[in-house]
Amino acid sequence: MDNKRPILLPKHERVLKQVGEQFKLARLRRKLSMVQVSERANIAKSTLWRIEKGDPGVAMGNYYQVLISLSLDKDILQLAKDDILGRKLQDIELMSKKKASKVDKNSK
């Protein structure tokens, strides 16, 4: 198995750290220990610690397991929900399509 750590730009690392902090705050608000959450998520305590630190090398499935254990699993459906860039690109493509050409009078 390849254990290479993904290479991220500093701003993207900050986003993952923020996500980790949000996971930690959600756990603490529920007054759950790391052991309780890691057992519920069926992951090692060290994996939960890495998630709460925003480690990009942790599998997304593990992040999802923690969301489930915190009853936040529906939050994952918000990822990429409003694809503003994709819609703009799609609109540009739709607007740039030419109208169907008229029948050439000389071809009859």
Closest of 20, 26, 60 to residue 43, by C-alpha: 60
- Give the pLDDT confidence of 65-105 residue by residue, as tens digits: 999 999 999 999 988 888 889 888 888 888 887 655 566 66
- The whole-number pLDDT of residue 3 equals 66
In the predicted model, is pLDDT for residue 1 greater than 60? no
CATH class, domain 10-95, is: mainly alpha
**pLDDT score of 108:** 55
Interatomic CA distance for residues 73 and 64, integer angstroms: 7
Residue 102 is predicted with a pLDDT of 64
